[in-house]
Amino acid sequence: MNKRTFKVSGMHCASCASSVESMLGAMEGVGKANVNFADESVLVEYDDAAISEQEMKKAVQQIGYDLILEQETDLEAEQEKEQLKLKKSRNRALYAIGFSLPVFIISMFLPELAYRNWIMLALVIPVITWFGREFFEIAWKQAKNFKVNMDTLVALGTGSAFLFSLFNTLFPEFLQSRGITPHVYYEAAAVIISLILLGRYFEAKAKSRTSASIKKLIGMQVKTAKVIRDKEETEVPVDQVQLGDLVQVRPGEKIPVDGEIVSGYSSVDESMITGEPLPVEKNEGDKAIGATLNKTGSFQIRAEKVGADTMLSQIINMVKEAQGSKAPVQKLADKIASIFVPIVIIIALVSAVIWYLAGPSPQLTYAFVTLVTVLIVACPCALGLATPTAIMVGIGKGAENGILIKDASILEKVNEIDTIVVDKTGTITAGEPVVSQMKWANGEKDNTLMDLVYAIESKSEHPLAEAISDYLSNKAQNGFSIDEFESITGKGVEARYKDDQLLIGSHSLMEQYEIEIPQSLRDESVAEKKAISTHVYVARNKQVEMVFSIEDKVKPTSMKAIDDLQKSGISVHMLTGDNEAVALEIAKKAGIENYKAEVMPQDKLDYVKQLQSQGHKVGMVGDGINDSPALAQADIGIAMGKGTDVAIESAEITLVKGDLEKIRSAIELSKETLKTIKQNLFWAFIYNIIAIPIAAGVLYPINGFLLSPMIAGGAMSFSSVSVVMNSLRLKSKPLK
């Protein structure tokens, strides 16, 4: 099954979204269709062998909307298109108001104006036939397919007001002869359409702000690439780069695609992916990530991932799919909205009949006003916007804070987690070796030897050598020229400086050269690290003079994150394939009581299943291929951003910076998003519960109040805008 997100034009309410969703979902070959009204998009899973995109487009057009098949990848073009759409929406609303305002003034304040009804008719016709024609067009298309939506309400209400007024203008004697004043409601038809158009403009403007994170990510994409073909460098659009192409990257340029460096070296700013501010040194054989910034050197990469397969594209798709997916609470709102319109029409008709049969004189006028008012005030826009706007803002805020959420339902499930299972390496620990101790055999520091070690280890690309050179970078000076340098695979290096032989490596390297390790380097201060540390010895002329203890240290942020999780009532478990001694030591440092060592991928999967069988809601955190089964099994799979593609694909949440503290942020985001959804749904329901009876006239027997159709239109638009603005408040709330 293919999965793709399409833009949908012409939707104005939850019922519109429901119509598109039901039409697509019922088509043969479509597995699932989720419409996001707030984003004006639909996420479709379909079998391209059974149904084409053109067939889906035609079906959507039949009910009054349009499926946009073209994929917009140019940010500037997309923004320009959106701004043009907003401008048209604004102009349509302003022009409608320009024609409606004189109608309102004449109706309210100039009852004796000559040719009053004819002047208002002339002003209303453009509002009905041009500025507001989309209401009637869509309502008609819906009716032909035996469907109703919000546009049906607007078309019925305003159309009835206009036709009734037109009849009374052309044939006033018809009602006069029956003792009824031929009232006109041109102001109701014109002002209602104007207010709804204005409300839709504000909604569109607010909704455009909710997808800012997507636009920022798209803006990071590189437009062109310098490809070497036939030994010549050619600049081509980045979407024309093919797998295996050699791509030249110069200082100050963004890397166009993901690939492997085949020649050259440089330092690369990968902060947009990792969040780390320091540039990463890159040499031949290293991986380069598309859209990251090349800082100093020049190099060539062989394209390994292009187009939609690049890391940045995957991140963009993750956010898009999340915003196109639905939370369970949204599905409830959509279901209610889909049956809401027919119920409202029935209420409007019943109210009109009651007013006509039992209301005061003129009964026909009161019945008509009630009919129009109920139809207008009950528009379910606020209900339709309640969930998707909050979800979009929540997912967007997560992305801005380094929390990538695959599916909207995750925002609900995260809040239910009571147990977190974490991998050790690369999750609790940094996943990179660092020097934890440097010890001298005779207790006295030798600056010359330290400088020599730095000069030698700086030449090596081995992770342990890098750890040592990093450790010594602020303690030694690279002022020595090493005469000879030889790597001894799996053991260390041999080098010469003048007449001195220098060996740097493992215990087995020392044994190979029959060098004895002095007792001072076997004492407790070194031995106590034996379980969790790797020891690198330095020998000069057959004498061991110093030792480095190197380990994968627990991240300071991990300890704080685990402590915060446990204080909040969440149980934390650690799983590792490492030995028992290492697991115990790391668990102690991290403050974890529950741990299991020497586990295989199947063991991690079984461990998660066992916790679930005990009734726990489990979140699994990992970064490797070996974690993927457990990530997929867990209620919430959480991948570290620096982990493997398999792990990220298996998880529902990706922590871009690889920081466990972001788990608490994700939980907090879930709580705030759900709270906002509940607030939105509450106010949307309350609005309709209160407004519809008032519009039907329940207050009239008590205090003589009957809601004006014009005021009803304004209230409906305000309710929609208020829901969107409440959702946008999420953007300003800080995450813990």
Give the sheet arrangement for strand 636-640, strand by strand. Answer: 403-405, 653-655, 636-640, 618-622, 419-423, 571-575, 594-596
Give the closest residue to 155 by CA, choosing from 348, 401, 441.
348
Instruction: Give the integer Cα–Cα distance in Å for 196 and 716.
Output: 8
Give the closest residue to 712 by CA, choosing from 8, 316, 187.
187
Instruction: Give the integer Cα–Cα distance in Å for 455 and 472.
Output: 10
Q: Where are the beta strands (DSSP E) in 147-275?
A: 224-229, 232-237, 246-249, 258-264, 266-269
Instruction: Give the integer Cα–Cα distance in Å for 439 and 545.
Output: 9
Q: Which residue has the tokens 């203890």?
A: 549
Instruction: Give the integer Cα–Cα distance in Å for 681 and 660.
Output: 33
Instruction: Give the integer Cα–Cα distance in Å for 541 and 529.
Output: 27
Q: Which of 423, 451, 578, 623 is catalytic?
A: 423
**233 contacts: CB under 8 Å, gap ≥ 6:** 226, 227, 248
* 362 cis-preceded (ω within 30 degrees of 0): yes
Give the number of other Cβ atoms within 10 Å of residue 678's Cβ: 14
Active site includes 423? yes
Burial 195-232 (b: 16+ CB within 10 A, else e): bbbbbbbbbbebbbebbebbeebbebbbeebbbeeeee
Give the closest residue to 709 by CA, choosing from 201, 200, 184.
184
Q: Where are the beta strands (DSSP E) in 148-279?
A: 224-229, 232-237, 246-249, 258-264, 266-269
Q: Tokens at residue 278, please?
A: 């320091």
Give the number of other Cβ atoms within 10 Å of residue 357's Cβ: 9
Write the burial class of residue 71 (CB in 10 Å: 0-12 exposed, 13-18 middle, 19+ buried): exposed
Instruction: Give the integer Cα–Cα distance in Å for 177 and 182.
Output: 10
Tell me the angle at which helices 150-170 and 328-358 cross, rounded to the nearest 10 degrees. 20
**Cβ atoms 438, 471 nearer than 8 A:** yes
**Cβ atoms 24, 30 nearer than 8 A:** yes
Q: Which residue has the tokens 């609790």?
A: 428
Q: Tokens at residue 231, please?
A: 């030994």
Report the Cα 409 to chain-centroid distance in Å. Answer: 12
The H or E element spanning position 194 is helix 186-210
Tally of CA atoms within 13 A in the half-sphere of 66 that contains its CB: 6
Give the number of other Cβ atoms within 10 Å of residue 439's Cβ: 15
**Cβ atoms 551, 533 nearer than 8 A:** yes
Compute and round to an integer the Cα radius of gyration of the chain: 34
**Cβ atoms 730, 397 nearer than 8 A:** yes
Give the closest residue to 128 by CA, choosing from 187, 198, 193.
193
Give the number of other Cβ atoms within 10 Å of residue 61's Cβ: 13
Instruction: Give the integer Cα–Cα distance in Å for 538 and 693.
Output: 87
- Fill in the amino acid letter for 283: N
Question: Which positions are catalytic?
Answer: 423
